[in-house]
Structure 1
Amino acid sequence: MRLNQVTVTMPDLDAGWEFYRKLGLKPIVDARPHYVRFVCPDGGSSFSLHQGEAGGGGTTVYFECDDLDLTVSRLIEAGILFASSPADKNWLWREAEVFDPAGNRIVLYFAGANRLDPPWRVPASAAK
């Protein structure tokens, strides 16, 4: 099984369109005002926005960046306001936090090998 896409609800798709394009996602479907879909620049996964009043604020989406600090600097220059600067976390990821126009929490991060293989990973024999 492989994750294809994540969809979040957003009242204002025009604001979402601008925000996620600034993050570097590439549009592949523009059916505003009801739906938009982007492809992530790396990895082939996609991300979409569905127009609606409900939702927002309860979703967290993680986007992995090979050079987190450079990416955050570029986004700040583009006008994105971050809630937290890149910081090393005790779970061995480096993260920066931002909120989209609907209040969804977006975490840009770099985890390297710790993404899928942290030192505390459950042994394969116990995962069966």
Structure 2
Amino acid sequence: MNLNQVTISSKDLEISVAFYKLLGLQLIVDALPRYARFTCPDGEATFSIHQKINMQSSDNTTVYFEDDNLKDLVFKLKQKGITFTSDIEDKSWLWTEAHLEDPDGNKIILFNAGKNRKNPPWRI
């Protein structure tokens, strides 16, 4: 089994599409104002957004995007005006992460985990 796609909700897809394009995702399906799908610069999975006008804060999601050059990515995104809720930190679970939110409050974690993503020392 392989993960194919993750879909999140948004009140305003035009704003969200612009945000995710700024992060570096490539738009491949444009069915605005109700749906959009992207590919990531690396890998085969896709990421999509569907419109949910009455979205509540409890509907928010956390999405992780991994990048081997996390420091460079965060620097470039800051240069583009992206605001982070936490800067790059080494976590106790052996990942390096930087946190931000999309325009709808969905939590985005940019990270680098290397071999620890699937094989941490405490793996069963």
Q: What displacement does 1:55 show?
A: 5.0
**RMSD, aligned α-carbons:** 1.0
Identity fraction in percent: 52
Q: What displacement does 1:79 show?
A: 1.0
Confirm or deny: 8 A CA contact 1:5 1:47 kept in the other structure: yes
Matched, 1:81 2:83: yes
For residue 116 of structure 2, give the secondary structure of its aligned residue in structure 1.
helix
Aligned-partner residue type, residue 93 of structure 2: W
In 2, the alpha carbon distance for the partners of 1:94 and 1:26 equals 24
Taking the TM superposition and a 5 Å limit, the aligned residue runs for 1:1-128 are: 1-53=1-53, 54=55, 58-122=60-124
TM-score (norm: length of structure 1): 0.92
Number of residue pairs the alignment of both structures matches: 122
Structure 1 gaps of 5+ residues are 123-128
Aligned-partner residue type, residue 37 of structure 1: R
Structure 2 gaps of 5+ residues are none
Point out the structure with max Rg over C-alpha.
1
Confirm or deny: 8 A CA contact 1:34 1:50 kept in the other structure: yes
Q: What displacement does 1:85 show?
A: 0.6
Aligned-partner residue type, residue 32 of structure 1: L
Q: What displacement does 1:58 show?
A: 2.5
TM-score (norm: length of structure 2): 0.95
In 1, the alpha carbon distance for the partners of 2:83 and 2:8 equals 20
